[in-house]
Amino acid sequence: MLNESQVRQFEEQGYLVVPDLLDAGLLDDIKAEYKDKLSSLCRDWSGEGKLPDVADRSFNDQLQAVVDAGLDYFQPLDISWPIAEFPDNTPIHLGESVFRMTRNRRTLDALECLIGTEITSNPIQHVRIKPPLTDVASGENRAHIVGTDWHQDRAVAREEADTTRMVTVWIAITDATLDNGCLQVIPGSHKNSMHTHCPSTQLGIPHDRINLNDATPLPVAAGGAVLFHPLTIHGSRENHSRSIRWSFDLRYNVTGEPTGRPQFPEFVVRSQTAPDTELHDYNAWRELWMNTKSRYANKYQDPLSYHRWDGASSICA
Ligand SMILES: O=C(O)CCC(=O)C(=O)O
Ligand SMILES: [Fe+2]
């Protein structure tokens, strides 16, 4: 539950830092699940002669070896399908502890104070495990691996969700610090309208449109979170530390309102009016996501069916 001053902070500033949103048990389960997954990927890659044998190494060291070998760890560890044409062997991580994280009671209690009791898990969600910048291949510019350009989350959804009551829940799995690329926001920016976003290396707002003097970095200890409004301008800094920086971003909206990404599955996480509509079954959740693969694998995806920005605006020149 949030107290009145936390709700006021969210409403007035467009964001709220919540320490200890995940308990230590869930945090450990998520890390253990990802460690198993990465070890298994490493075993496969070693077997194919693409990677030295790193089976006994730590998660950090395994990730470093994978990055050094130029292998793509992002998609097999992500919790969403790509928003582009993808082959039907595209991997995704749909682990049981990730499902538990989407239903985390403290998260839903906090969301109730912001958007009410009818809450849907929005399918726009990612993991971001960012290696030290010095280890990243030159030319890598994905916002899941390096710093994230300034943007509003409303803009990465379709126009039909422009009035959807939605909250982003950004969760730190490792401590997020100034040095390793914590989230940063422009406080109060949710009170203005949506900015034009330009698709260049990432989908972002041109920097001359933002008062960067107001940029406020938000360091958060592992297990803590930043909750923010869909119009809050935010991004993240580069990872200048020597170890990985790991977060998840999940989104939630009022049930029945458009998610902004109808291609991917939504599900009810909490409902006071119809509790039997809540999805509690891990396998059913997995199935929902896997069905997306059957529908979209090997099919051309028009980027404009995911967001509205074609780069034609003069401010993108
Ligand atoms: O963690 C990041 O780099 C950016 C996260 C973000 O844009 C989001 O959570 O909406
Ligand atoms: Fe974002």
pLDDT tens sequence for the chain (317 residues): 899 999 999 999 999 999 999 999 999 999 999 999 999 999 999 999 999 999 899 999 999 999 999 999 999 999 999 999 999 999 999 999 999 999 999 999 999 999 999 999 999 999 999 999 999 988 888 899 999 999 999 999 999 999 999 999 999 999 999 999 999 999 999 999 999 999 988 999 999 999 999 999 999 999 999 999 999 999 998 999 999 999 999 999 999 999 999 999 999 999 999 999 999 999 999 999 999 999 999 999 998 999 999 999 999 98
Shortest-distance atom of ligand 1 to CA 170: 9
pLDDT value, residue 315: 94
pLDDT value, residue 181: 97
φ, ψ at 119 (rounded to 5°):
-120, 130
Pocket test for ligand 1, best of 128, 156, 227, 251 (most atoms within 8 A of CB): 128
pLDDT value, residue 138: 86
Q: Which residue has tokens 């009022």?
A: 254
What distance in Å separates the CA atoms of residue 270 and residue 254, rounded to the nearest whole number? Answer: 10
Pocket test for ligand 1, best of 21, 144, 156, 170 (most atoms within 8 A of CB): 170
* Helix or strand run (H / E) with residue 151: strand 148-151
Shortest-distance atom of ligand 1 to CA 130: 3
What distance in Å separates the CA atoms of residue 265 and residue 158, rounded to the nearest whole number? Answer: 15
pLDDT value, residue 137: 86
φ, ψ at 12 (rounded to 5°):
-85, -35
Shortest-distance atom of ligand 1 to CA 144: 3
pLDDT value, residue 51: 97
Query: What DSSP string describes 215-233?
Result: -EEE-B-TT-EEEE-TT--
Buried b (16+ CB within 10 A) or exposed e, 176-214: bbeebbbbbbbbebbeeeebebbeeebbbbbeeebeeee
Binding-site residues, ligand 1, Cβ < 6 A: 128, 143, 148, 153, 168, 170, 183, 234, 236, 247, 249
Residue ranges of domains in the chain: 4-299
Buried b (16+ CB within 10 A) or exposed e, 267-288: bbbbeeeeeeeebeebeebbeb
pLDDT value, residue 142: 87
Q: How far is the CA of 294 from the centre of ligand 1 (A)?
A: 28
Q: What residue's CA is closest to ligand 1, atom 7?
A: 235
Closest of 220, 120, 230 to residue 167, by C-alpha: 230
Q: How far is the CA of 257 from the centre of ligand 1 (A)?
A: 22
Q: Are residues 18 and 224 in contact, defined by beta-carbon separation less than 8 angstroms?
A: yes
Q: How far is the CA of 181 from the centre of ligand 1 (A)?
A: 10
Pocket test for ligand 1, best of 183, 186, 232, 240 (most atoms within 8 A of CB): 183
Q: Are residues 197 and 203 in contact, defined by beta-carbon separation less than 8 angstroms?
A: yes
Name the token pair of 93: 């991580």
Q: What is the pTM of this model?
A: 0.97
What distance in Å separates the CA atoms of residue 16 and residue 3, rounded to the nearest whole number? Answer: 12
pLDDT value, residue 140: 87
Put the strands of the sheet holding 15-18 in their side by side order. 15-18, 225-228, 166-172, 245-254, 119-130, 267-270
CATH superfamily of 4-299: q2cbj1_9rhob like domain (2.60.120.620)
Q: What residue spans of the chain are helical by DSSP H?
A: 4-13, 24-47, 59-68, 74-77, 96-102, 105-115, 282-296
pLDDT value, residue 201: 87
Put the strands of the sheet holding 216-218 in their side by side order. 148-151, 234-236, 183-185, 216-218
